[in-house]
Protein backbone atom coordinates (compact mmCIF):
# COMPACT_ATOMS: atom_id res chain seq x y z
CA UNK A 1 0.00 0.00 0.00
CA UNK A 2 1.33 3.41 -0.87
CA UNK A 3 1.55 6.37 1.45
CA UNK A 4 -1.21 8.20 -0.44
CA UNK A 5 -3.67 5.32 -0.21
CA UNK A 6 -2.99 4.97 3.53
CA UNK A 7 -3.70 8.67 4.08
CA UNK A 8 -6.88 8.58 2.00
CA UNK A 9 -8.18 5.45 3.73
CA UNK A 10 -7.62 6.99 7.18
CA UNK A 11 -9.40 10.16 6.03
CA UNK A 12 -12.32 8.03 4.80
CA UNK A 13 -12.49 6.21 8.14
CA UNK A 14 -12.50 9.46 10.10
CA UNK A 15 -15.24 10.88 7.85
CA UNK A 16 -17.33 7.73 8.30
CA UNK A 17 -16.80 7.74 12.08
CA UNK A 18 -17.66 11.45 12.30
CA UNK A 19 -20.88 10.83 10.34
CA UNK A 20 -21.73 7.94 12.65
CA UNK A 21 -20.90 10.11 15.65
CA UNK A 22 -23.04 12.92 14.23
CA UNK A 23 -25.96 10.50 13.87
CA UNK A 24 -25.66 9.57 17.54
CA UNK A 25 -25.55 13.20 18.65
CA UNK A 26 -28.53 15.26 19.74
CA UNK A 27 -30.16 17.14 16.85
CA UNK A 28 -30.83 20.29 18.86
CA UNK A 29 -29.13 23.40 17.48
CA UNK A 30 -28.64 26.73 19.21
CA UNK A 31 -29.60 30.08 17.71
CA UNK A 32 -26.05 30.64 16.48
CA UNK A 33 -26.02 27.24 14.72
CA UNK A 34 -23.99 25.16 17.18
CA UNK A 35 -25.17 21.62 17.71
CA UNK A 36 -25.58 19.87 21.04
CA UNK A 37 -22.80 17.35 21.74
CA UNK A 38 -24.75 15.02 24.03
CA UNK A 39 -25.72 11.56 22.78
CA UNK A 40 -29.26 10.85 21.65
CA UNK A 41 -31.45 9.58 24.49
CA UNK A 42 -34.74 9.35 22.60
CA UNK A 43 -34.32 7.82 19.14
CA UNK A 44 -37.79 8.93 18.01
CA UNK A 45 -36.98 12.61 18.48
CA UNK A 46 -33.21 12.50 18.04
CA UNK A 47 -32.77 14.58 21.19
CA UNK A 48 -30.60 14.12 24.27
CA UNK A 49 -32.19 13.76 27.70
CA UNK A 50 -31.84 17.47 28.45
CA UNK A 51 -33.44 18.80 25.26
CA UNK A 52 -36.11 16.10 25.29
CA UNK A 53 -37.19 17.18 28.79
CA UNK A 54 -37.17 20.84 27.76
CA UNK A 55 -39.29 20.10 24.70
CA UNK A 56 -41.55 17.79 26.68
CA UNK A 57 -42.21 20.51 29.26
CA UNK A 58 -40.92 18.54 32.23
CA UNK A 59 -37.81 20.67 32.40
CA UNK A 60 -39.64 23.96 32.09
CA UNK A 61 -38.34 26.71 34.32
CA UNK A 62 -40.50 27.51 37.36
CA UNK A 63 -42.03 30.93 37.84
CA UNK A 64 -39.27 33.29 39.06
CA UNK A 65 -41.63 35.00 41.52
CA UNK A 66 -42.50 31.65 43.12
CA UNK A 67 -38.82 30.73 43.43
CA UNK A 68 -38.03 34.15 44.92
CA UNK A 69 -40.85 33.79 47.45
CA UNK A 70 -39.60 30.36 48.45
CA UNK A 71 -35.99 31.58 48.71
CA UNK A 72 -36.79 34.63 50.79
CA UNK A 73 -39.68 33.24 52.82
CA UNK A 74 -40.17 35.48 55.85
CA UNK A 75 -36.74 37.15 55.54
CA UNK A 76 -37.09 40.92 55.61
CA UNK A 77 -33.43 41.87 55.82
CA UNK A 78 -30.04 40.22 55.92
CA UNK A 79 -28.71 41.92 59.04
CA UNK A 80 -28.41 38.77 61.13
CA UNK A 81 -26.65 35.45 60.70
CA UNK A 82 -29.98 33.68 61.30
CA UNK A 83 -31.67 35.37 58.33
CA UNK A 84 -28.70 34.67 56.04
CA UNK A 85 -28.58 31.06 57.23
CA UNK A 86 -32.30 30.68 56.51
CA UNK A 87 -31.76 32.10 53.01
CA UNK A 88 -28.86 29.72 52.32
CA UNK A 89 -30.92 26.78 53.56
CA UNK A 90 -33.75 27.76 51.22
CA UNK A 91 -31.21 28.09 48.41
CA UNK A 92 -30.01 24.53 48.98
CA UNK A 93 -33.60 23.26 48.88
CA UNK A 94 -34.24 25.03 45.58
CA UNK A 95 -31.00 23.73 44.07
CA UNK A 96 -31.73 20.15 45.11
CA UNK A 97 -35.22 20.38 43.61
CA UNK A 98 -33.59 21.74 40.42
CA UNK A 99 -35.75 24.86 40.58
CA UNK A 100 -32.73 27.11 40.34
CA UNK A 101 -29.77 26.79 37.99
CA UNK A 102 -26.43 25.80 39.47
CA UNK A 103 -24.60 28.97 38.34
CA UNK A 104 -27.35 31.10 39.88
CA UNK A 105 -27.12 29.11 43.11
CA UNK A 106 -23.34 29.59 43.19
CA UNK A 107 -23.73 33.35 42.74
CA UNK A 108 -26.39 33.58 45.45
CA UNK A 109 -24.33 31.47 47.85
CA UNK A 110 -21.35 33.77 47.25
CA UNK A 111 -23.53 36.81 47.97
CA UNK A 112 -24.68 35.09 51.17
CA UNK A 113 -21.03 34.59 52.17
CA UNK A 114 -20.32 38.27 51.51
CA UNK A 115 -23.29 39.23 53.66
CA UNK A 116 -22.03 37.00 56.48
CA UNK A 117 -18.61 38.63 56.24
CA UNK A 118 -20.14 42.10 56.69
CA UNK A 119 -22.00 41.23 59.90
CA UNK A 120 -19.08 41.97 62.27
CA UNK A 121 -18.66 45.42 60.70
CA UNK A 122 -22.40 46.06 61.12
CA UNK A 123 -22.17 45.08 64.78
CA UNK A 124 -19.23 47.44 65.34
CA UNK A 125 -21.16 50.31 63.72
CA UNK A 126 -24.22 49.61 65.87
CA UNK A 127 -22.07 49.49 69.00
CA UNK A 128 -20.41 52.79 68.09
CA UNK A 129 -23.84 54.38 67.54
CA UNK A 130 -25.02 53.12 70.95
CA UNK A 131 -21.90 54.51 72.61
CA UNK A 132 -22.42 57.88 70.90
CA UNK A 133 -26.04 58.01 72.06
CA UNK A 134 -25.04 57.11 75.61
CA UNK A 135 -22.34 59.80 75.59
CA UNK A 136 -24.79 62.38 74.28
CA UNK A 137 -27.32 61.41 76.94
CA UNK A 138 -24.75 61.72 79.72
CA UNK A 139 -23.56 65.10 78.43
CA UNK A 140 -27.12 66.38 78.30
CA UNK A 141 -27.73 65.11 81.84
CA UNK A 142 -24.70 66.99 83.19
CA UNK A 143 -25.48 70.16 81.26
CA UNK A 144 -29.02 70.42 82.61
CA UNK A 145 -29.52 72.97 85.32
CA UNK A 146 -30.91 71.49 88.49
CA UNK A 147 -34.36 72.52 89.61
CA UNK A 148 -34.38 75.20 92.32
CA UNK A 149 -35.86 72.79 94.81
CA UNK A 150 -36.24 69.06 95.04
CA UNK A 151 -39.77 67.63 95.39
CA UNK A 152 -39.34 67.36 99.19
CA UNK A 153 -38.73 71.08 99.41
CA UNK A 154 -35.01 70.80 100.07
CA UNK A 155 -32.29 71.47 97.50
CA UNK A 156 -30.96 68.42 95.74
CA UNK A 157 -27.76 67.10 97.24
CA UNK A 158 -24.66 67.97 95.23
CA UNK A 159 -26.14 71.10 93.72
CA UNK A 160 -25.77 74.48 95.25
CA UNK A 161 -28.59 76.90 94.85
CA UNK A 162 -27.28 80.14 93.40
CA UNK A 163 -30.70 81.78 93.27
CA UNK A 164 -31.92 83.73 96.22
Burial of 145 (0-12, 13-18, 19+ CB in 10 A): exposed
Look at residue 105 and tell me if it is in a domain. Answer: yes
DSSP tag of 150:
-
**What is the maximum alpha-carbon separation in the chain?**
131
76 occurs within a structural domain: yes
Domain encompassing residue 104: 64-141
Taking the C-alpha atoms of residue 64 and residue 72, their distance in angstroms, rounded to an integer, is 12
Is 18 part of any domain? Answer: no
Does residue 30 belong to any structural domain of this protein?
no
Tell me if 68 is assigned to some domain: yes
* pLDDT tens digits in sequence order for the chain, 164 residues long: 555 555 555 555 444 444 445 678 888 888 888 888 889 887 888 888 788 777 755 555 677 888 888 889 888 898 899 999 999 999 999 999 888 889 999 999 999 999 999 999 999 999 999 999 999 888 888 877 665 555 555 555 555 555 54
Q: Is residue 10 part of a domain?
A: no
Q: Where are the extended beta strands (E) located within 24-110?
A: none
- List the beta bridge partners of residue 42: 47
Q: Is residue 6 a part of any domain in this protein?
A: no
Q: How far is CA 145 from CA 9, 123, 130, 156, in A?
A: 108, 35, 25, 11
Structural domains of the chain, count: 1
Residue 47 lies in a domain: no
- Which residues neighbour 93 within 8 Å (Cβ) at sequence distance 6 or greater? 70
Amino acid sequence: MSLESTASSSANRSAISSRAGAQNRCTHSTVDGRRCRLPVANAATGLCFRHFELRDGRGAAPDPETVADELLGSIEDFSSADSINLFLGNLVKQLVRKRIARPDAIALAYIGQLLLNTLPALRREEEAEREDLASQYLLQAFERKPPSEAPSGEPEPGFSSSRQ
